[in-house]
């Protein structure tokens, strides 16, 4: 069984309303076009309301720190008031996931504990992004780009 298959199975166990998107290049393109990049990373100095945190410990220690970061910076309000959030993984998965706000924290925990590499959570309408890197950083910001 591939990692894609394993994660898809876990997603289906979480909720039947999480939508797996196999043809997801349009989402990656929109994320890419919405932010300025330095190499393969978002240039956070070119975003508004940027917040970041260096996570401590291992992946299993991160979830509480991530939740605290989200609440302390009022990102939970952005999540709650989003119609839809897209999840893209840096390179471990070959699909995207469409997440409703009420599913966010459950999916987040599963992703952090089971999926390697970088995690991108992106809202297309408000053009915000949360990135959790495998190196142990979480960043949040709004795009200031008018490309899309």
Domain housing 120: 3-34+58-132
Q: Are 30 and 147 in contact (CB under 8 A)?
A: no
Q: pTM here?
A: 0.93
Tell whether 81 is covered by a domain: yes
Query: Is residue 10 in some structural domain?
Result: yes
- Chain mean position to CA 84: 12
Closest to 140 in 3D by CA, of 40, 69, 37, 83 = 69
Distance, CA of 30 to chain centre: 14
Is the residue at 41 inside a domain?
no
The count of structural domains within the chain is: 1
Within-domain flag for 138: no
Per-residue pLDDT tens, the chain, 148 aa: give them.
899 999 999 999 998 779 999 999 999 999 999 999 999 899 999 999 999 999 999 888 999 999 999 999 999 999 999 999 999 998 889 999 999 999 999 999 999 999 988 999 999 999 999 999 999 999 999 999 765 4
- Reported as half-sphere exposure (CB side, CA atoms, 13 A), residue 21 has a value of 15
Residue 148 falls inside a structural domain = no
Does 78 fall in a domain? yes
Residue 13 domain-assigned (yes or no): yes
């Amino acid at each position: 069984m591939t990692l894609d298959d394993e994660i898809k199975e876990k997603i289906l166990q979480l909720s039947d309303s999480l939508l797996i998107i196999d043809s997801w290049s349009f989402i990656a393109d929109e994320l890419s076009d919405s932010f300025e990049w330095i190499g393969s990373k978002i240039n956070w100095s070119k975003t508004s309301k940027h917040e970041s945190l260096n996570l401590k410990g291992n992946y299993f220690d991160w979830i509480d720190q991530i939740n605290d970061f989200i609440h302390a910076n009022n990102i939970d309000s952005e999540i709650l008031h989003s119609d839809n959030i897209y999840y893209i993984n840096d390179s471990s998965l070959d699909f995207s996931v469409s997440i409703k706000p009420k599913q966010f924290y459950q999916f987040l925990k599963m992703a952090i504990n089971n999926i390697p590499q970088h995690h991108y959570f992106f809202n297309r309408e408000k053009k915000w992004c949360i990135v959790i890197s495998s190196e142990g950083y979480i960043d949040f910001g709004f795009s200031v780009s008018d490309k899309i």
